[in-house]
A and B are shown apart, each in its own frame.
Chain A
Amino acid sequence: MDQLYLLATLAGTRIAVETGEVEAVVRLTDVSPVPGMGAHIAGLSALRSRVLTIIDVAALIRGQATPVEQRSLAIIANISGHSYGLMVDGVSDICRVPEGALPLRGQLDAAWAPYARALVEHEGHPWLLVSLAAFIEGGALAQAA
């Protein structure tokens, strides 16, 4: 159960992501918008010769696009063969949590429910364990269709 987690803040909430899902964290530079898409697709961005689809995860949760000047970091992940960049507010740490994932407690906001899997306890705070693939497959695709 000695699992490595990436701790970040997203839409004002503390989240944890299993590092196995994370390829890298990059600072976003140029994002070319994709017109005709919902607010949760921020656009396309090039990472060397790869093209990332940038997901505005906060928009997926709050329904409001993040203003361009507040875009900073994105978690790069490869989900079913495509490269995505998931925008987050900030990244605080990568750490080992000895006790691993704990069951969810309390009443979770409905907006978070499709993505949250468990809790991770670190330095006395609970962090919501989310799955990146769920953002793409559960949230974004469902909204796009």
Chain B
Amino acid sequence: MDELLQEFISETQETLEALAGEVVAWEADPSDRDRLDAIFRFFHTVKGSCGFLNLPRFERLSHAAEDVLSEIRAGNRRPDPATVSAVLGIMDRIGELTEAVAIGAALPSENDDFLISALSAQGSEAEPAAVQAAPVGVGRPAAAQSVPRTIRLPLSLIDQLMNGVSDMVLARNELSRKLRERSADPELDNVFERLSTCVADMRDVISKTRMQRVDRLFAAIPRMVRDLGRELGKRIDLSLEGGDVEMDREMVEMVVDPLTHIVRNSIDHGIETPEKRRAAGKPETGRLRLEARQSGNQIVIAIADDGAGIDTARLVDKAIADGRLTPDAAARMSEQDRLDLIFHAGLSTAAKVTAISGRGVGMDVVRANVERIGGVIALDNQPGQGLCITLRVPLTLTIIPGLIVRAGGQHFAIPRAAVVEILHDNNETLHVSEVGGAKIATIRAVRHSMVDLEDVLGMAKPVQQGPRAIMVVRSATGVPFAMGVSAVDNHEELVIRPASPLVMATGVYAGMTLPDNGKPMLLLDAAGLANAARLPNIIDDRAARQQEEQADAQTGVEMVAALRFEELSGERRLLKLSLIERVEDIDANLFGRSGGRAFVRLDGRLVPVANGLSQFDRDKVSALRLRDDRREACYPVAAVLDIVQMPAVPDMVAMHGMLSGVAVIEGEHLEVINPFALFAALPEEAMVERVRGRCLLADSNDGWTREILAPLLRQAGHEVLLGLPGDALVDPDDVVLCTEADAAQAAEIMGCRVVHLRASPRPTGPQDGSIYRYDQDALMAAIAGRRG
């Protein structure tokens, strides 16, 4: 029985969630039979199950709603707004009751009679006419689609599965380390490779089980828009797009609140009343558009309205009135900076506090929530025309790009998005001074509060050779501050897991991660650190810094052209353009692996593959052809994006493996490939060119030799020389090909091996060591063999 009840509860809750939007859409278009049927089916199901489960209140409510809906279905009654409101009311009550049953609480004791009588009352009497004129149109692009078969699973099972796979990945990593220590056995390597692929695939699939359609995020929106619109007497045309995009289930939970808040704001402050809109020459019905799409490993959610936009002048006035900003600094601010003021705590453009928004929970909280999950929020403000807010959040909650820093002999991780800049403390643009115990770092004329991470965490500061690293850290809501650490060691994608409440209670950690070396590492929380160090929180004079930065840019950060590309593993990186000879598509089957090195066969030569990849999931691979002064290499990539200007020295120097650091291009952090490390890692090329030697064609004047033999040899990857060179230039590895016997003798005198060709298919006699000139296999074997 318990199980049945559980099933009933979760099913009812899920359907309710999905249905709220449907009811609103049905109100906008009463002729939509499919939606009406869906709603009717819901009540019918609830009624059926509660009779069985002995839940009389559910039964009565759903029975009443079902009656009304069946009348509408029969065409005896029109679905006016009052009826829809009453149906929604019943759905809400069923939701409340379900919730109560689920947690085993006493059922709420309100009387259901009022709701039921509201159903039977005819619309025009119950609802004032003014509000009645505000239906919400919901546009959904696609019609009903076939629903894939699903089953319900407890989340804990999925988490268990996920942990199991993580264990497997760790075990695989350890195995791979052990294998590398032992001698290379290609057979074993192959098997291991296969296992690796399986494990990686499995991890991908498991992480997909955590995915959920964005529809779920949107489900509550139509209802909210309808209710708010009615309350405020505004007309809103809502459109939802991209509901089929998938994102992490936890992420959905985290985005719900910020999204709800933005939509509320938009209706309350953005979209004007019909009268005002008419006066402004806009259509009376305001438009609100929500759109979700996937872009790389991010989900982009855009919320656009055609309302009044943000009045930045009023924001500035408010900030000045609050004493957060000097009029001086305000005058220097750019429009974007003024707009950013909306993210400061307690600032709002709302002239008065309304019931819907403007209650002090403002955009600062929204931004903090979005940034906590590694997201970014951006505003596109068109005063008088509307506002578009874009949320960019990572696909999953658990993987974020992070920097590994060292302090007090220990490693910590910090989200890369929180770090604005990294300098060494011997950098001349940096000046650190101390007064009354407080440290102040002046970087290019901008003063930052400075703390040492060791001091904040109460660790001993070990004596260290060489400079310390100073990072400028920007927390979600606070002002940037400078933080000293021993060194910045590395940057990588970190799998973040929640730390235990004990650890979180300190407030300076945001989670933890388990890197490959098996030593747990803590993720620092930038805002928490600032709090722990009790740093003052003053609005920063950003304009001054920007002026400074502009001057800086003019006087000379050296810029070089770089190619922006996407790695096959998905990261976006930069490589100096001058190293790239060209970009071409190469057949994937030309790539291979031998002796642990990846190579690609190009124009008959073996070219080393710089990033060691040899297996691809596509037929054609885009590849960068690189060349230093004497060697060449091939660098397969997923896609070539564009050419940008990057600083010659990366914004953040962090040498690690093939990377030299991170450069910020158009607000995007991109890793920069270190060309030195790239070429240094290539295998010595000797094996490629030397072993092949040259083919000397003695009969350089013969047409057959020139037109048929030479091209064949070149295609096979040999270097071909027409005619015999002077004695000094002949290498013992060279092979002479000739058809005339005397030329063969001459060549033998020079000390080279000779392949003697003949024109007739049959040998002239048993001593004839020559090869028929169209017998390609024998010819190639002879060239290769004689070189032995």
Contacts and interface: CB of A to CB of B under 8 A. Distances in A.
A91 interface: no
Given A44-B512, A48-B167, A50-B163, A34 B505 contact: no
Nearest to A145: B505
Given A44-B522, A49-B514, A36 B458 contact: yes
Interface string B491-515: 0000001111111011011001010
Interface string A54-84: 0100000000000000000000000010111
B604 interface: no
A3 interface: no
Contacts, number: 70
A65 B505 CA distance: 19
A2 interface: no
Interface residues of B, number: 30
A37 B512 CA distance: 15
A84 B499 CA distance: 11
B500 A53 contact: yes
Contacts of A136: 502
Nearest to B170: A49
B520 A35 contact: no
A53 B514 contact: no
Given A49-B167, A50-B163, A144-B506, A32 B519 contact: yes
A35 B458 contact: yes
A36 B521 contact: no
A49 B166 contact: yes
A144 B509 CA distance: 13
Interface in B503-556: 503, 505-506, 508-509, 512, 514, 518-522, 532
B456 interface: yes
Nearest to A144: B505
A34 B519 contact: no
A46 B505 CA distance: 20
Given A46-B519, A49-B163, A136-B502, A32 B532 contact: no
A55 B501 CA distance: 12
A109 interface: no
A41 interface: yes
Given A36-B532, A46-B519, A140-B502, A51 B512 contact: yes
Contact of B506 (A30, A37, A45, A48): A37
B520 A45 contact: yes
A125 B458 CA distance: 43
B503 A37 contact: yes
B520 A41 contact: no
B459 A35 contact: yes
A114 interface: no
Interface of B: 163, 166-167, 169-170, 408, 410, 456-459, 497-503, 505-506, 508-509, 512, 514, 518-522, 532
Identify the 5 closest CB pairs spanning chains A and B, nearest first.
A44-B520, A35-B457, A49-B166, A144-B505, A82-B500
10 contacts: A32-B521, A33-B410, A34-B522, A35-B408, A35-B457, A45-B520, A48-B167, A51-B512, A144-B502, A144-B505
